[in-house]
Amino acid sequence: MDASPKIRAHALTRSFGRGARRLTALGPVELDVATGEFVCIVGPSGCGKSTLLRVAAGLLRPSAGGLDIHTHHDRPAAMIFQDYGIYDWKTVLANVRFGLDVQRVPRRDADERARGWLARMGLADFADAYPAALSGGMRQRVAIARALAVEPEILLMDEPFAALDAQLRTILQDELLALTQSTRTTTLFITHSLEEALVLGDRVLVMSARPGRIIAERRPPFGRPRTGEVRSAPEFTALKDELWDLLRGEVDHERQEAATP
Ligand SMILES: Nc1ncnc2c1ncn2[C@@H]1O[C@H](COP(=O)(O)OP(=O)(O)OP(=O)(O)O)[C@@H](O)[C@H]1O
Ligand SMILES: [Mg+2]
């Protein structure tokens, strides 16, 4: 493992709007993600998780502090958006090929890789369809295939499995485990599911209510390589309960704030 972190945030904050309407969405956040590490983030709705990921992806600037990402030129960071971020005017195949086209991978090679990922996502028959013809879960799988096809050095995933049914979600969690463990892809993964965070993460970070700060960190005590079997470990349930207590405190806090005129 490299000594220097792949992702490092220091005193990172992000606000939106001006004057009386100014709202601090995030921070201050301190965060180090090591090379090859899989970090999961949980936190109440609206606490700034997507904002953090958008800053990491370079789509938003910090308002104060900073976030540095270290990648090599040939292997980009890839982001999977909470709302999919796929292009409705491109076919499914062209959507998955998109990042490869940007990298100028030769067409035939790119097509082959894109089709391979579509097959793994159970979408082989939909290569020539347009996203409008797909269900929400299928669109989400297109977004996942697109991100993984570029074999990114860093994966930024914003609730990538939220729209999927429980079975497919479990299958893709297990696939993502196998994939990130074999490629040692550094991953920052946002989820509302504590189970998901505990299955996947080397570390699980809990964010406070808005403006989101990191208020707790847990390391699921499961070694690597790991499989979905950890779901039935006794420590799993105990840790889930503990995280849920932390999270519930933040959600309650937020509701009380909202109820105060
Ligand atoms: N572009 C924007 N302009 C103005 N406000 C924004 C913008 N993006 C986010 N916000 C606000 O910042 C706060 C954090 O939003 P963000 O989307 O990061 O939350 P989140 O933790 O991802 O929530 P969820 O779990 O519901 O996805 C919210 O109050 C949101 O309204
Ligand atoms: Mg979000």
Residue 83: pLDDT above 80? no
How crowded is the C-beta side of 178, counted as CA atoms within 13 Å? 9
Residue-level pLDDT at 126: 96
Residue-level pLDDT at 257: 76
Residue 255: pLDDT above 90? no
Residue 237: pLDDT above 90? yes
181 burial via Cβ count (<10 Å: 0-12, 13-18, 19+) = middle
148-168 mean pLDDT: 87
129-140 mean pLDDT: 90
Predicted confidence band of residue 12 (pLDDT cuts 50, 70, 90): very high
Q: How far is the CA of 23 from the centre of ligand 1 (A)?
A: 10
Predicted confidence band of residue 214 (pLDDT cuts 50, 70, 90): very high
Residue 71: pLDDT above 90? no
Bridge-based pairing state of the strands 38-42 and 186-190: parallel
For the CA of 82, the nearest atom of ligand 1: 27
For the CA of 48, the nearest atom of ligand 1: 18
Ligand 1 and 46: CB distance under 6 A: yes
Q: How far is the CA of 44 from the centre of ligand 1 (A)?
A: 11
Q: How far is the CA of 224 from the centre of ligand 2 (A)?
A: 28
The overall average pLDDT reported for the chain is 89
Residue-level pLDDT at 172: 84
User: What does the pLDDT look like over 87-113, one tens digit per residue?
Assistant: 999 999 999 999 888 888 999 999 999
Ligand 1 and 82: CB distance under 6 A: yes
Complete edge-to-edge strand list for the sheet that includes strand 77-80: 77-80, 154-158, 186-190, 38-42, 203-207, 214-218
Residue 3: pLDDT above 80? no
Q: Provide the 10 A C-beta neighbour count for residue 113.
A: 20
For the CA of 53, the nearest atom of ligand 1: 18
Ligand 1 and 45: CB distance under 6 A: yes
54-76 mean pLDDT: 85
Ligand 1 and 47: CB distance under 6 A: yes
The answer to whether the Cα torsion of 37, 42, 46, 48 is positive or negative is: negative
Residue-level pLDDT at 59: 87
Closest residue (by CA) to atom 30 of ligand 1?
46
Amino acid at 235: E
Closest ligand to Cα 158: 2
- Residues within 5 Å of ion ligand 2, judged at the Cβ atom: 49-50, 82
Are the CB atoms for 198 and 41 separated by under 8 Å? no
172-177 mean pLDDT: 87
For ligand 1, pick from 51, 54, 81, 156 the residue to mutate: most ligand atoms within 8 Å of CB. 51
Residue-level pLDDT at 64: 95
Residue-level pLDDT at 76: 62
Closest ligand to Cα 16: 1
Ligand 1 and 210: CB distance under 6 A: yes
Predicted confidence band of residue 261 (pLDDT cuts 50, 70, 90): low
155-184 mean pLDDT: 87
